[in-house]
Amino acid sequence: MGFFASSAFAAFLFGALSSVSLPIGAIVGIATKPSRTVISAVMSFGAGSLMAAISFELVNPAVEREGAGFAPLALGLLVGCLVFIALSRAADERGAAARTRSTLASSLRSKKRRRAEAILERLGSVDILRSLPPEQVQAIVPFVQLRSFAAGAPVFVQDGIGDSMYIIDSGSVSIEYVDGSGLRSTVAELGPGQTFGEMAIVWNAPRTADAVPLTDTTAFEIKREDFELLCGASPALKEAVAALAAERGRTGMIPAAARSGEEWAREAARHLDETSFRPSETELKTAAVESHASAASAIWLGLLLDGIPESLVIGASMSGFSASPALIAGLFMANLPESLSGATMMKEAGTRTPRVVWMWTSLVLAVGIGALLGNMIAEALSPFAHSLFEGLAAGSMLAMIAQTMLPEAYERNVRTVGLFTVLGFIATVFFHTLG
């Protein structure tokens, strides 16, 4: 009976109460299929509400607490933010990014950029390309395609039209010359990272040898027509190519590049067009289906990660059996849009309704337990440590708002974000006046 009459049990109840909105939001999202505008508005409202709750219930008490002051709060805010970012990134890399549309889009953008940087590293190994300005050549990346070639089937043949160059990704290719009498000789055997057919990019000349895969091979292909299109759009690149061709015509050689391949690739990466990494609607849906089919546990852990800070805060903020109306209301309103958006995303990805509801409902128990632990920990803390603890939770929650809630609102409909964020803030201020 002692436990059920304790403040720890009360913290458990209030923690669970604040998160009941999670399965409610999930059910509403599945049943009504809300529009992008509605999701954005509700998510913005929740973000504003939570920011007000953090200000009133965590930051202000910590600053005013005797024996603590500003230093532990500031330290906690910073550390809590960094810890959340690190854990969130680790969870996202294991599949948790599919919990919301915005985190999935961010993950796909990062993957596309890493792919672009890897391609630039390969391009930097090509003497001809490295002799051209990297800030101009980097624009060819979206046109680079990964091709597969079966062993023994020529990629191109001698005297054929030079319309592409290739950079080997895996496998091996034999470059073979056939003389006038039909005698075949091997000029070179190339492996991963090496190039062939590069003369076709700059000079309109027929192939001088056969290129025959020795094993099943994959290679990055750059088409001459795409490169010419790029030159047409960039006078600086067109001029550099003309100068390169003139130098080869004069000396018979390709002039030495002014920088190493690594330096060239780094400079090219600095000029990548970030807008080109934005995933399409098809890419988002495909990635969501793949993630929800293979990484449900990681998605659940990502959702739990978002809920841990708030649960600890509820427990730590309770004195005896009293809880802040502003904090409980703020967290309730912040949880509702997150589950509404996340459940909608899960359902669109093909996750079964019972599983979606279970994932969100299980978090109610998890948040309740977190609140209980937060209450038990806070009772044993000194004023300095208590402010540090509150700062850790507040920093995590602020990082969650900035990285998950507001980006999700922007992703759905950016025009609603400002107004509904302020309305959510006002709503929690009102609840604070009730306390």
Residue with tokens 């590049």: 257
| pLDDT band of 151, cuts 50, 70, 90 | very high
pLDDT value at residue 21: 83
Q: Are residues 250 and 321 in the same domain?
A: no
Lowest mean pLDDT among 49-63, 158-172, 214-228, 276-290: 276-290
Question: What average pLDDT does this structure show over 7-23?
Answer: 80
164 to each of 146, 151, 220, 311, 396, how far by Cα in Å?
12, 19, 10, 58, 50
- pLDDT tens column, 308-365: 776 776 776 665 445 566 667 767 777 777 777 777 777 766 778 888 888 888 888 8
Q: Are residues 397 and 430 in the same domain?
A: yes
pLDDT value at residue 1: 44
- Would you say 350 and 66 are in contact if contact means Cβ atoms under 8 Å apart? no
pLDDT value at residue 247: 66
Residue with tokens 């809880």: 323
Lowest mean pLDDT among 119-123, 313-317, 402-406: 313-317
Question: What average pLDDT does this structure show over 193-208?
Answer: 79
Q: Are residues 190 and 310 in the same domain?
A: no
pLDDT over 90 (residue 174): yes
In a domain, 102, yes or no: no
Mean pLDDT of the chain: 80
Q: Are residues 255 and 377 in the same domain?
A: no
Q: Are residues 304 and 156 in the same domain?
A: no
Where is the domain boundary, 277, 305, 330?
277
- List the domain range (segments joined by +) for residue 216: 121-277
In a domain, 268, yes or no: yes
Q: State phi, psi for 159 to the nearest 5 degrees.
A: 75, 5
With a pLDDT cut of 70, the percent of the chain lying above it is 88
Number of structural domains in the chain: 2
pLDDT over 80 (residue 77): yes
| pLDDT band of 229, cuts 50, 70, 90 | confident
In a domain, 397, yes or no: yes
Residues 6+ apart with CB under 8 A from 312: 370, 371, 373, 374, 377, 389, 393
pLDDT over 80 (residue 209): yes
Q: Are residues 355 and 410 in the same domain?
A: yes
Residue with tokens 């965590």: 58
pLDDT value at residue 4: 46
Higher pLDDT, 323 or 190: 190
- DSSP code string of 374-430: HHHHHHT--HHHHHHHHHHHHHHHHHHIIIIIHHHHHHHHGGGHHHHHHHHHHHHHH
Q: Are residues 141 and 269 in the same domain?
A: yes
| pLDDT band of 149, cuts 50, 70, 90 | very high
Question: What average pLDDT does this structure show over 429-435?
Answer: 77
pLDDT value at residue 74: 92
pLDDT value at residue 324: 64
pLDDT value at residue 421: 93
Q: Are residues 314 and 357 in the same domain?
A: yes
- pLDDT tens column, 24-55: 888 888 888 888 888 888 889 888 988 888 88
Question: What average pLDDT does this structure show over 255-276?
Answer: 80
Higher pLDDT, 289 or 12: 12
pLDDT value at residue 320: 47
pLDDT over 70 (residue 370): yes
Q: Are residues 309 and 407 in the same domain?
A: yes
Higher pLDDT, 131 or 70: 70
In a domain, 112, yes or no: no
pLDDT value at residue 143: 85
- Which residues are bridge partners to 177 per DSSP? 185
Lowest mean pLDDT among 136-150, 172-186, 295-309: 295-309
Higher pLDDT, 338 or 393: 393
Question: What average pLDDT does this structure show over 238-253?
Answer: 68
In a domain, 164, yes or no: yes
Where is the domain boundary, 226, 248, 277?
277
pLDDT value at residue 80: 87
Nearest residue to 167 via CA among 150, 190, 137, 133: 190
Q: Which run of H or E residues covers position 168?
A: strand 164-170
Q: What is the CATH number of the domain that holds 203?
A: 2.60.120.10
Higher pLDDT, 70 or 300: 70
pLDDT value at residue 318: 63
Q: Are residues 268 and 377 in the same domain?
A: no
Question: What average pLDDT does this structure show over 237-241?
Answer: 76
In a domain, 105, yes or no: no
pLDDT value at residue 352: 82
Higher pLDDT, 10 or 111: 111
- Would you say 73 and 387 are in contact if contact means Cβ atoms under 8 Å apart? yes
pLDDT over 50 (residue 5): no
Where is the domain boundary, 217, 243, 277?
277
Q: Are residues 252 and 304 in the same domain?
A: no
Using left for φ > 0, alpha for ψ between -120 and 50, and beta otherwise, residue 157 falls in beta
Question: What average pLDDT does this structure show over 147-152?
Answer: 93
In a domain, 71, yes or no: yes
Q: Are residues 315 and 390 in the same domain?
A: yes
Higher pLDDT, 42 or 95: 42
In a domain, 286, yes or no: no
pLDDT over 50 (residue 131): yes
- DSSP code string of 185-245: EEEEEE-TT-EESTHHHHS----SSEEEESSSEEEEEEEHHHHHHHHHH-HHHHHHHHHHH
Question: What average pLDDT does this structure show over 154-180?
Answer: 89
